[in-house]
Amino acid sequence: MLKLEEYYQDVILLAEGGMSKVYLATDKKLGRRVAVKVLSLSQHTQADEFNEARLLARFNHPNIVQIYDVFESNGHMALEMEYVQGATLQHYTKTHVLTTEQKVELLSHIADGLASAHSQNILHLDLKLGNILVNDQGVAKIADFGISQLEDSQTSRPHTSYGSLTAMSPEQLRNEMLDSRSDLFSLGLIAYQLLAGHHPYCEQADDGSDKSIAEQIKFQPLKTSAKRILDIPPALAQLIDRLLQYEKSARPSSANEVSQQLKQILHTFSYDNSEATLSLEEIALRDRAKEKAKTRKKRLSVTALFTFLMCLVVGGYWYWQETKPKVYIAALPVEFIGQSDIPNSHKQIVKQTVEDAIYQFLITSKNYEPVSKKEVKQTLASLGRTAKPSDISQSLQIDKLFIPTGECNNYSCTIQLELLGKSGKVVEFSERITVINTQISATFISVSQTLSKALNITDTSERLIDDNFNKAYSALIEQLHQENTVDIKLISQLRVFIRTYPKHYSLYTTYTKGSLRLYNRTLDIKIINELKEVLDSSPHEYKETLDYLANRTSLLLLLNKKDDIETLLSSYQGDNSNSYELLNLKGSIYQKLGKYEQAKASFIKAYQLKPTLIVLRNLVKIHAISGSFAEALHFADKALSITQKDHQLIKITADISLITGNLSRAIELYQTLVKSDSNNANYLTNLSTALSLIKEQDLSLDYATQAYRINEQRADIVLNYADALALANNDADRAYMKVIALLDTPSKPIDKLIKAQALAHLGYSIEALKLLQLVKSEAPELYELPFVSALIMTLIGDESSAIIQIEASLDSGWAVQFFNLKWFDPLCGIDEFHKLLEKHNYSERCSALN
């Protein structure tokens, strides 16, 4: 007997037939899960046994089960094959409610696999529902090539020896020479059974037995038509009828042709006509032919009544699910308290595992609407470290809040999980669990069980139970938190984890972030292709989550595939298709695409559904970016009424106040920021600019000098320092020359504008104008362009052009106070300048010069 334990570990018998046994095992060398098919050589010739291995070894196709290895010992042969975690198509249709579109997609997979086999002149000859495997991602794979043959080297061996009688073509049952169209007939039988729920020859067979059905296939054309199948497109019915033609010459010419037609049907599929269809139970046909005629009408009536009642029940449940109020829930990151000598890497492992367990539990729950980890993190950053749970709950607009804390020693950590109600003040649940620092699976399970108890719902999250996974994942978590240690080996390891645990959704986000980070460092396109493959093959349930949408768009943004992003956003059909979360995500994506109006619309709809702090911040940003400053300040005031510790929000508000001429507020906010961080060159530079507009030149120079000393290599900071020197009547030439040196060959439009200003201040008019013209052609919508153009035109003495650009600047939202700078003094003798000043209520601008 073949001793599988010599090659594998964790060997489990999956199935047993008359000719073979199939085991699930783990390859000792590679650590991967495989299916091992063991056959006895005494039952057939050795050549027959190696036929399957020889044929399968020629394949490497996503819709054909792949063979990895073959070996023989003690009169037995073993085929080591890809382990497909899923079910046969026959079983899959009984345990899943599939739409017509999903069924057509499965048929498309089978046709693709057949096309690959036929391209190498290989016929399957036993294609049936039981020989199609469907994995957890909903991908169909052709299996069991045991009686396959090469099309150009068929022998006298009967083709009906081992095939299934009800799955063969007429010519196969007649032992005639076969070609690829025999498999196409079998594909037609699969399609009919998948869509109608019964065999197409069932009605014309005498007694419904396999033998009777086979006799009809062998000698009689099919009398029924696929057009009788309810709710399928006419093009699909026509294709199935062609596949089931008695004469093979009337069938499609190739599997490739069938594949293309199925894809066309999928492409034009109408969602309105693809209602979910319940799979039919397998009907025992033997010895029931005599009763069929008498009971058909009664059975149809009962079935119709049952179906109608079921529709009422299912419809009512669906309506209740769709209309019941959403319960929003969030979880804070794990915070460790107390001191211990535990290595930081162990803390990070515990933290990551607890947070992954919470995330996996909540995202797979149908009872709650979890707030993304990203939004929680942003909200905490905005509120500050000392924020109270009640403030967090209010800012997130949630109903429940989990607060996990940890206290560790060298061996274990005690995790306390508290669940707070809507106010963020009442503790609804609290429990402490002790976990071993490096035992990920035990930690994951303990946290999941505790959450289940806290929320009184069943835990449906996927378990992590593989010890090898635990060790590898622990090392991986440690590496991921070190920026430069992400390498191809780590990414490959993550991909293996995903294959092993495809429903552990947090792995996909980790893999996406790691892959994008590695690609940005190496520019290896293979990394991107593998990321695309992983996301493409992820479970159907995961593709309905917003995490998938976010990860997919991150990839498409990197590839600059804007049209694909638009298609993805418009076609998203997940459970959150009308939710706050989706609208907020869409707004962020549209903002990155530069589609500001669409971004605004999405954020406003999200705010109407759930007025959170984060969507307020997003509304401030998008209105500021697009130049809608009044609206930006409106939302900024609302956000600042919630938090006074969000430095980014304060800076945006200060910047808008500066641009719109509310200089006192801008200066006050910048001073607040400088007090919080006196080494932030951006804060210091902007405060310097605001002070220069109210003629506080000495104080302005003081802040500009501080910023310059902090960062002498940033051209914009050096330019502001040079301007402050000039406005304070100091020599600024060396500083302007440094700007030019720093931007020797500027590539970004904004850098070209910075250099153009420095050139103009030094009298290099032609060079400045050339750069200005480049920016106008490259980025005509750049917000700074009209103001810088006005400044340069004034410096070179082109007063008429300067007036035109000043008017354009004022029209685009620039405050009139910016033209209080002394460089614009020469324009005070021009009537058009005075008219512009009067129009914007700043007629006193030139009075001091007269």
In the numeric block, the tokens 């990920």 are attached to: 440
Which residues, other chains included, contact 793 with Cβ-Cβ below 8 Å and sequence gap of 6+?
Answer: 799, 801, 802, 805
φ/ψ of 84, rounded to 5, equals -95, 110
Whether the model pTM is above 0.75:
no
* Cα 94 from Cα 130, distance rounded (Å): 12
How many residues appear in the chain? 850
User: CB under 8 Å, gap of 24 or more: what pairs does 386-392 form?
Assistant: 387/643, 388/424, 389/420, 389/424, 389/425, 390/423, 390/424, 390/425, 391/424, 391/642, 391/643, 392/330, 392/332, 392/424
Q: CA-CA distance, 787 to 824, in Å (whole number)?
A: 11
Contact in structure between 401 and 390 (CB atoms under 8 Å): no
Q: How confident is the model at residue 48 (pLDDT cuts 50, 70, 90)?
A: low
Cα 652 to Cα 467: distance, rounded to the nearest angstrom: 49
Catalytic residue among 27, 48, 126, 487: 126
Residue 716 CA to residue 753 CA, distance in Å, equals 10
Q: CA–CA separation, 565 vs 770, rounded Å?
A: 36
pLDDT tens per residue across span 380-437:
888 887 888 888 888 888 889 999 998 887 778 888 999 998 777 888 888 988 887 6
Do the strands 86-88 and 33-40 form a parallel or antiparallel pair, or are they unpaired?
Answer: unpaired
Average pLDDT over the chain, rounded to whole?
82
DSSP 366-390: SS-EEPPHHHHHHHHHHH-TT--HH
pLDDT of residue 135: 87
Provide mean pLDDT across the span 742-771: 94
The single-letter code of the amino acid at 151 is E
Helix (H, G, I), strand (E, B) or coil at 288: coil
Q: Which residue has the higher pLDDT, 310 or 774?
A: 774
Partners of 22 in beta bridges: 15, 37
Cβ 26 vs Cβ 20: under 8 Å:
no
Taking only the tens place, the pLDDT of each residue in 213-271 is 999 999 999 998 998 887 788 889 999 999 999 999 999 999 999 998 898 888 765 44
Six-digit token string for 780: 């005509």
Residues 582-606: tens digit of each pLDDT = 888 889 888 888 888 999 999 999 8
How far is the C-alpha of 317 from the C-alpha of 300, rounded, in Å?
Answer: 25
Among candidates 455, 459, 432, which has minimal Cα distance to 445?
Answer: 459
Rg for the chain (alpha carbons), in Å? 35
**For residues 19, 24, 27 and 31, what is the CA-based torsion angle, rounded to 10 degrees?**
160
| pLDDT tens for each residue of 324-361 | 566 888 899 988 887 766 677 677 778 888 888 888 78
* Nearest by Cα to 612 from 372, 285, 829: 372
Which one-letter amino acid corresponds to residue 360? Q
Structure letter (DSSP) for residue 476: H
- Is the separation of the CB atoms in 804 and 836 below 8 Å? no
Give percent of the chain above pLDDT 70.
Answer: 83
Q: What is the DSSP letter of 332?
A: P
> Is 126 a residue of the active site?
yes
